[in-house]
Structure 1
Amino acid sequence: MASSRDRQRKLAREKLDRQLARRAAAARRRRQIQAGVGVAVVLALIVVGSAWALGAFDRDPKQQAAQDVCLWTPQDAAANTNLKDVGTPATSGPPTSGTRPMTINTNQGGPITAELDLAGAPCAAASIAHLASRSFYDNTTCHEITTEGALRCGDPSGTGLGGPTYSFYDENVPTVPEASPSASPAPGEPPAYPKGTIAMIGNPPGNNGSQFLVFFKDFNPAKPTYPVIGRVTGGLDVIEKIGALPTVDNGTGAKVKPKTDVLLQKLTVGEPSTAAAPAPTSPASGAPSASPSAG
């Protein structure tokens, strides 16, 4: 009997030793895993800190997207019958430096020449070039002379609700110093939208399609909302003449519709130029006219 009890004690001791060994091994594994996780966290913090120091997080996601890809958001043509489907531009590879020439011919004279800013508004320039290549703008009316001092064009429906069957985000919206919230620019400070500026206008704001503004006088709002896409380089006198036309009620109670139809006969966009674009806020009031004003 004693011998049997000894064997039972021995077996129990061996079982306990095995359990203790397994527990010790598990503890060692936990310590190794914890040490590995700690090293990984430290390495991750080092990488993130280095990236932050080098400015990897300083760029606006929209600016990053503009360099690599333009995002065209589909619009429902069934819900808005004022939209016109002419496809969408390429999603990647828009030129992001230099300028692109644009020419506008109207029944009020011209031509009006302009430069699209490929660095500041590459996606807007790509969109306008695409629409122009599909004759989207041809024989459409510039349906509004805004109270802000701009001619509004680019809506085939002439309602202010039309455009292509896609939209895109804002680019290159001017900023104004917080210390100068007044609608009048500070002495020596250029306005947010100098005369001759070309800017997109979305409906609602930020939902850009085809409509654009050509300013015939300086405009300096407290909070700019229109993305600047270029500037007039010739024929500004034609825009000024159109801006002086009498206006009538557009059906909503606002006297902004030109009493005389302003027909955009043709809009063309040329090939990109590698020349650097001028500063978006450069006044264009001194730009020479490409031709005399039509009567």
Structure 2
Amino acid sequence: MTSTRERQRAAARARLEKEMAQRAAAAKKRRQLQASIGAGAGLLLVVVLTVWGVTSLGDDETETPQATDDGQASAGCVWNEIPAEQRSPTVKDVGVPTTTTPPSTGTQLMTLDTSFGEVQVTMNLADVPCTAASFSHLASQGFWDNTKCHRMFPGMLQCGDPSATGEGYRDSDGTGGPSYQFANENLPVDDRPAYPAGVVAMANSGPDTNGSQFFFIYQDVELSPDYTVLGQVTEGLDVIQEATEAGHDGAFDPSPGGGHPNSDIVINSLTVSEPQ
């Protein structure tokens, strides 16, 4: 029979283990935030020993739900609206998705008509119900129509800023997005490489700050698993590879690296199908 003293010791050990786990989680989050601040505009990504920032809007976590260890939001979808006084001029306000409980079974097909050809991305709703709901909402408003992919690095092409339009590039390109943010989903914490060729992932500026910017992986790259895997290119990866063949202008070299694509890569339209 277990003595009272042994039970007390077991309870004390359990409390200590719980406290240590909480401290480790808090320390991890502090490190992530410090990385975000250090990058200036976004988290740091280590790619072949080179640092590259995948950026979107500034960090605003006041009401964002905490994600679980697998990157899933803890209770439905929360669309964390950015206060009007904190919005940059590049924010495009088209409202927020109407649902907080989107479908979580089946798939949706995202189709991009680009200046280099068509690209199709399949989203698995069991993995990214909230991200898919956000894309459906924004696509229904023509959010990405006639925008340019504004940044690239070998193996990666970043798109999704609604303000990146027209001739040339501006210093503000890469800062635009919707008037809300939402939590991470489907983080590839156990996958190696975490982001293989064909993956499409969400850009962010810190934990749970997803907006509208996303990036294509067209060659295997090693990144920290901090970016929601939105889906998989099922048709048109060769289109992305062709579009990036001309390289970039080195605007962000040597640090954080990369630059604007030398070829204008325009998203003429982006549509999302109904769940299948």
Question: Counterpart of 1:122 in structure 2: which amino acid?
Answer: P
User: TM-score, normalised to structure 2's length?
Assistant: 0.66
Question: Counterpart of 2:226 in structure 1: which amino acid?
Answer: T
Q: Superposed, which structure 2 residues align to 1:181-220 within 5 Å? A: 190-220=192-222
Question: Counterpart of 1:100 in structure 2: which amino acid?
Answer: Q
Stretches of structure 2 that go unaligned for 5 or more consecutive residues are 1-66, 165-172
Matched-pair contact (CA < 8 Å) for 2:252–2:259? no
Bigger CA drift: 254-263 or 230-239? 254-263
1:243 offset after TM fit, Å?
A: 2.5
Matched-pair contact (CA < 8 Å) for 2:73–2:183? no
Say whether residues 1:163 and 2:192 are aligned partners: no
Say whether residues 1:63 and 2:69 are aligned partners: no
**CA 1:64–1:225 in structure 2 vs 1: closer, same or farther (change >3 Å)?**
closer
Residue in structure 1 matched with residue 112 of structure 2 by the alignment: 104
**Cα distance per residue 1:167-198 (max 9 Å; x no partner):** 00111111138xxxxxxxxxxxx521111101
**CA 1:197–1:105 in structure 2 vs 1: closer, same or farther (change >3 Å)?**
same
Computed over aligned residues only, the root mean square deviation of the Cα atoms, in angstroms, reads 2.2
Q: Superposed, which structure 2 residues align to 1:76-155 within 5 Å? A: 76-79=83-86, 80-108=88-116, 110-147=117-154, 149-155=155-161
1:65 offset after TM fit, Å?
A: 3.7
State the alpha-carbon separation in 2 of the partners of residues 227 and 236 from structure 1: 19
More helix by share: 1
Structure number with bigger Rg:
1
Q: Size of the alignment, in residue pairs?
A: 198
User: TM-score, normalised to structure 1's length?
Assistant: 0.62
Matched-pair contact (CA < 8 Å) for 1:77–1:83? no
Q: Secondary structure at the match of 1:163?
A: coil
Structure 1 stretches of 4+ moved >3 Å: 59-66, 76-79, 249-255
Question: Counterpart of 1:63 in structure 2: which amino acid?
Answer: Q
1:269 offset after TM fit, Å?
A: 0.3
1:261 offset after TM fit, Å?
A: 1.3
Residue in structure 2 matched with residue 173 of structure 1 by the alignment: 187
Stretches of structure 1 that go unaligned for 5 or more consecutive residues are 1-58, 178-189, 274-295
1:145 offset after TM fit, Å?
A: 1.0
The alignment-based identity, stated in percent, is 42
RCO higher in 1 or 2 (8 Å CA, sep ≥ 6)?
A: 2
